[in-house]
Amino acid sequence: MKNKFKKILSVSAAALLAVCTATALSASADPETAEEVLSDGSFIYDTVDGGYTIKRCTATIITSIPGIVNGIPIVEISEGAFSNCAGITELNIPQSVKKIGSGAFTYCTSLQKVTIPSSVTEIPDQAFLGCSYLTDIELPDTVTKIGDSAFAVCSRLTDIELPDSLTELGDMAFNCTPLTNIDAEGCSGFVVDEKILYDRNKKEIYRAANDVSGDVYIADSVETIGGGAFSLCYGIENVFVPGSVQTIGDNCFRDCISLKKLDFTEGLSSIGTCAFINNISLETVEFPLSLQSIGDSAFMNCTSLNKTIFQDGLKSIGANAFYDCENLMQVSVPKTVETIGEDAFGKISDEEGNTLSLSGFKMNVSSGSAAEKYAKNDNIEHTASDKSLKRIAFVIIAAGLIIVVIIFAVVLMARNRKSATAAAKKAQKEALEKEAEDNYVKILDDSPEDDKKKSK
């Protein structure tokens, strides 16, 4: 009797579940009455204001998205709805769709062509990130914004026509995307000059064409070189950065494998994460006095780099900033540096990816500084000195000597005022001033060796 009762309960529960599911799938008048997520075998839907959103694509192969389901319009594609759908090669988005969520089509690695309807006004952050086979996309003139990394790492996308309506372009929108043809004709917010995409006032660089090569002179009006702006520009050899530039963005010159020389001018304040990563031909970098921060992995795997010149004023050096710089055997880090990230200097990786200490690497640091602490923690050979007291003493002594020389010069000139000609007086004065200056320079350069100490 009990078993029979349990069986009846099971059948009743199953029937009730089937009725509920059927009711949800057949809801048509108002999507707000459908309380459960819907599925038709190709997509999972959910309700939003005005219709349905596609929460997830479950089909292996599709070429189009339905405009209406159960008489209710599809008005939105949710965040990540098609991410990693590797079987999709072509996709038509219906006019009913008004909004596309962030990362909606990330890593659709077979997707080659996408049709965006005029109902869409924004391409969101990371929308087509990693769509490595995407070659054909038309953006309607209704689009006003392209988000951060929207088309990043689309490794076969070579042509893009920016819509006339575009007013906002996100950071790294085309990072590591080998664009050779950037068309901004008719676009009021942006302009292309010498294969480089700028904002209309040429204050920011957004993207350079992949085939830009040789010497690159950044325009004097530019204040920011945006994220990924010159990434994958394999032919660039020398870059000249004017003093107007304050920021170099993340991944800015990533994989510029022919880049040999960087010419910085005073004014640059920050260098972003991975800004010069994998620049295997770069040998020497002299940073300006104005530079305050170097981002994580900024010069990672610059295997030919053998000399860096840091200036007072630098405050932070990020983790792995000079990791795998196997020829950078010595650095001098100023006392102004307050933070140094993990494995910033003196570290390389083996074939298995394990981190090793770079044999023979040395650091010159100031006593009590963050650089000294870093060297001690990592057992790096280093030379530490307290230059502040020494410099003050030198300045005092030098100033005293200069005063004595000037007084002597004045007395001597007074004695010979009657007999000396104007030309002779001038020559005598210049000789005395030069002697005083040479003594001052000599004193500053004679850095006592006995106030230095070596430790490991």
The CB density around residue 16, as the number of other CB atoms within 10 Å, is: 10
| pLDDT category of residue 444 using cuts at 50, 70 and 90 | very low
Mean pLDDT over the full length of the chain: 85
Say which residue, 156 or 1, is predicted with more confidence: 156
Report d(CA 334, CA 312) in Å as an integer: 6
Report d(CA 424, CA 427) in Å as an integer: 5
Angle between helices 422-445 and 387-415 (to 10 degrees): 160
Pick the CATH number of 217-384 from 3.80.10.10, 3.40.50.300, 3.40.50.620, 3.30.479.30: 3.80.10.10
Lowest mean pLDDT among 4-18, 230-244, 285-299: 4-18
Enter the DSSP assignment of 60. Answer: S
| pLDDT, position 424 | 53
Res 304 pLDDT > 70? yes
Report d(CA 359, CA 380) in Å as an integer: 9
Residue spans of beta strands (DSSP E) within 31-186 = 38-39, 43-48, 51-57, 68-69, 72-77, 90-92, 99-100, 113-115, 122-123, 136-138, 145-146, 159-161, 168-169, 181-183
| pLDDT, position 423 | 52
Please write the tens of the pLDDT for every residue from 334-367: 999 999 999 999 999 999 999 999 999 999 999 9
Instruction: Tell me the mean pLDDT in the region 279-303.
Output: 98
- Cβ atoms of 281 and 303 within 8 Å: the answer is no
Backbone angles phi, psi at 429, to 5 degrees: -65, -45
Whole-model pTM: value is: 0.76
Instruction: Tell me the mean pLDDT in the region 365-393.
Output: 84
| pLDDT category of residue 448 using cuts at 50, 70 and 90 | very low
Separation of first and last alpha carbons in the chain: 84
Rg of the chain in Å (alpha carbons): 33
| pLDDT, position 450 | 44
Res 17 pLDDT > 60? no
Q: How far does CA 67 lie from the centroid of its chain?
A: 39
Q: Are strands 168-169 and 196-199 parallel, antiparallel or unpaired?
A: unpaired
| pLDDT, position 385 | 83
Instruction: Tell me the mean pLDDT in the region 114-129.
Output: 97
Burial class (CB in 10 A: 0-12, 13-18, 19+), 414: exposed
Res 432 pLDDT > 90? no
Instruction: Tell me the mean pLDDT in the region 227-234.
Output: 98
Backbone CA torsion sign across 414, 415, 419, 424: negative
Res 413 pLDDT > 80? no
| pLDDT category of residue 92 using cuts at 50, 70 and 90 | very high
| pLDDT, position 41 | 87
Query: Which residues does residue 293 pair with via DSSP β-bridges, in sequence order?
Result: 270, 316
Question: Which residues, 6 or more positions from 248, have their beta carbon under 8 angstroms from its beta carbon?
Answer: 225, 241, 268, 270, 271, 272, 275
| pLDDT, position 220 | 96
- Cβ atoms of 126 and 151 within 8 Å: the answer is no
| pLDDT, position 341 | 98
- Cβ atoms of 234 and 256 within 8 Å: the answer is yes
Lowest mean pLDDT among 57-71, 159-173, 344-358: 57-71
Instruction: Tell me the mean pLDDT in the region 310-319.
Output: 97
| pLDDT category of residue 419 using cuts at 50, 70 and 90 | very low
The helix/strand/coil state of 452 is strand
Say which residue, 10 or 375, is predicted with more confidence: 375
The CB density around residue 9, as the number of other CB atoms within 10 Å, is: 10
The helix/strand/coil state of 430 is helix
Query: Which residues does residue 309 pair with via DSSP β-bridges, in sequence order?
Result: 286
Strand order, beta sheet including 381-385: 330-332, 362-366, 381-385, 452-455
- Cβ atoms of 156 and 179 within 8 Å: the answer is no
| pLDDT category of residue 403 using cuts at 50, 70 and 90 | confident
| pLDDT, position 19 | 33
| pLDDT category of residue 207 using cuts at 50, 70 and 90 | very high
Instruction: Tell me the mean pLDDT in the region 198-203.
Output: 97
Res 438 pLDDT > 80? no
How far CA 109 is from CA of 116, 155, 172, 254, 328, in Å, comes to: 18, 10, 19, 22, 38
Question: Which residues, 6 or more positions from 431, have their beta carbon under 8 angstroms from its beta carbon?
Answer: none
Burial class (CB in 10 A: 0-12, 13-18, 19+), 111: buried
Lowest mean pLDDT among 128-132, 298-302, 353-357, 447-451: 447-451
Report d(CA 315, CA 313) in Å as an integer: 6
